[in-house]
Amino acid sequence: MQDIAKAGPECLVAIGGSGPELMQLLEMFDCQDIREGFPWMRLVGVVDGTTRPEVSGALALSRVRLFSTVGELLSAHPEVDIVFDLHATPERSRALRGGLPEGVSVVDARAAMVFWEMIMSGKICAPCQSNLHQARAFLTTVLDGMEEDILLLDLEGRIVDCNRNVTTRLGQPKSAFQGRYCHEVEGGSFCRRSRRECPFRETVMTGKKAEAVHTKLDDDGRLLYFRVYTYPLFNELSELINVVEIRRDITSRTYTEQRLQQAQKMAAIGELSTYIAHEIRNPLFAIGGFARSLLRAENLDEEAQGKVKIILEEASRLDGILKSILNYARPSDTKAGEVDVNSVVGETVQLMSIGCDQEGIRIKTNLDSKVARAKGVPELLKQCLINMVKNSMEAMESGKGCITLFTGMEDEYVIVRVEDTGRGMADDVKLKVFNPFFSTKDKGSGLGLAMTKKIVEDVGGRISLSSHEGVGTVVTLFLPPVLAVDGDTLDAEDIPA
């Protein structure tokens, strides 16, 4: 607390008489704020010859000594500085003043009350203000130390205050947000929901806590998840006066949950693939065999042969789908080696350039000549790139657009990026694009990007996708680099225990 003590010697105070102001003065001197605000001032006694019971009791509680005469007071405390005169009659006041030595200040009852009212309105507030500042500093430290966005809203949804995380994350001062509506902070589709689904509106209407999950796109077109909580604030009359809104970024947690769901889905697909291999491929093999036998029969007319060919084609297509499912569900037993990503990208472009030329689509590369070698299998990486380029081709109109393949280093990963200028993806499509069997194409199996994701993750990498409708899509493969100690460089004896 701020030091407001008087510099110099102690000031001793006494009270003469037991007028109606006595109890008030005793209460004031006994107040903790007075003791802390005026530690140099001390009440040493009360001079009162009436010795009324209520006076004796009050002094006992205050631990202040009672003196019958001024002489007794001066004998005990000859250095007394100030005496408050509370006598109701002039005769008693004269007797009090006459018994005091020169140099002792005498203050009458009226002046004493004015004096104390001035003190109570000024100095006594200092400890309260100090405590208030401490409480405010503590609260600010706690709120600014939280990683969540915290907004204080009025009942119209306008921002009254916010914590430091809001200003730091969005790169604007607090004044830029105050007075604006809460839905204007993130903009875009963050609050694109009905009033019934808005947690702020729900809290205003019900006076209870509410929550909801909101999403938004970052600058790279990637989806972010936020869980929004709203809490009511009431005054002493139980009237709703403000709403506190907390926004927590749950993107990482959502991603982890989705990966867990994906793993569970993969386990189910693995069990299903065993059933498929036994129960479907065997009859399918018989269908294909008999269809080929019928096709060799000499007594079939041309129309019948056409129908048998359709059976063979569809059986072959179904067999291809079953192979894709089995390959997707089966753990990879191919040992990862070293991959020259620039070489694989060059081979992929050479292979896909004919199809792009036929569609009038430009395909080009931007390769980093100093990129590290990556862990992986060259043929599997080429399969991933072919799937990605095919998707880009199908996202563009014939005769329009460009596909660019990049290589480089980013965040200690070797990256291979495929960027197109196609129609982009809607938010709901981006949520499902890596799910097996999800496809926006009529004849697609929905395993292209799902297989690509699995191949990349099997070697310790990851895949990211960003897309804006009407602008295009970017898919990036993050592959672990081959280190100088990879392979057989480290023997068991070289590894410290």
Instruction: Tell me, yes or no, whether 108 and 214 share the same domain.
Output: no
Of 329, 354, 386, the position where a domain reaches its end is 329
Q: Is residue 1 part of a domain?
A: no
CATH number at residue 41: 3.40.50.720
pLDDT range class, residue 240, cuts 50, 70, 90: very high
pLDDT value for 327: 65
pLDDT in tens, 269-316: 666 666 666 677 778 888 888 888 888 887 888 888 888 888 888 888
Residue 455 confidence (pLDDT) above 80: yes
Residue 486 confidence (pLDDT) above 50: no
Q: Is residue 141 part of a domain?
A: no
pLDDT value for 51: 61
Instruction: Tell me, yes or no, whether 433 and 456 share the same domain.
Output: yes
pLDDT range class, residue 113, cuts 50, 70, 90: confident
Q: Using an 8 Å Cβ cutoff, are 479 and 447 in contact?
A: no
Q: Is residue 3 part of a domain?
A: no
In percent, how much of the chain has pLDDT > 90? 20
Instruction: Tell me, yes or no, whether 320 and 348 share the same domain.
Output: no
Instruction: Tell me, yes or no, whether 324 and 406 share the same domain.
Output: no
Domain count, the chain: 4
pLDDT value for 354: 84
pLDDT value for 493: 40
Six-digit token pair at 321?
Answer: 């789908």
Residue 416 confidence (pLDDT) above 90: yes
Instruction: Tell me, yes or no, whether 198 and 293 share the same domain.
Output: no
Instruction: Tell me, yes or no, whether 174 and 227 share the same domain.
Output: yes
Q: Is residue 355 part of a domain?
A: yes
Query: Please, what is the average pLDDT of the chain?
Result: 80
Residue 492 confidence (pLDDT) above 90: no
Instruction: Tell me, yes or no, whether 213 and 284 share the same domain.
Output: no
Distances (CA, A) of 322 to 199, 262, 273, 315, 390: 46, 20, 8, 10, 21
pLDDT in tens, 45-98: 888 866 667 777 777 777 788 888 888 989 999 999 999 988 878 888 888 888
Of 234, 249, 264, the position where a domain reaches its end is 249
Q: Is residue 457 part of a domain?
A: yes
pLDDT range class, residue 125, cuts 50, 70, 90: low
Instruction: Tell me, yes or no, whether 242 and 266 share the same domain.
Output: no
Residue 8 confidence (pLDDT) above 80: no
CATH number at residue 457: 3.30.565.10
Instruction: Tell me, yes or no, whether 181 and 103 share the same domain.
Output: no
Of 231, 249, 267, the position where a domain reaches its end is 249
Residue 448 confidence (pLDDT) above 60: yes
Instruction: Tell me, yes or no, whether 417 and 368 share the same domain.
Output: yes
- Mean pLDDT for the stretch of residues 433-461: 75
pTM of the model: 0.45
pLDDT range class, residue 404, cuts 50, 70, 90: very high
Six-digit token pair at 207?
Answer: 């006076």
Q: Is residue 491 part of a domain?
A: no
- Mean pLDDT for the stretch of residues 99-108: 88
CATH number at residue 283: 1.10.287
Instruction: Tell me, yes or no, whether 377 and 422 share the same domain.
Output: yes
Instruction: Tell me, yes or no, whether 453 and 342 share the same domain.
Output: yes
CB atoms within 10 A of CB 74: 18
Q: Is residue 138 part of a domain?
A: no
Give the CA count within 13 Å in the CB-facing half-sphere of 430.
23
CB atoms within 10 A of CB 216: 17
CB atoms within 10 A of CB 292: 13
Containing structural domain, residue 58: 11-128
Q: Is residue 136 part of a domain?
A: no
CATH number at residue 167: 3.30.450.20
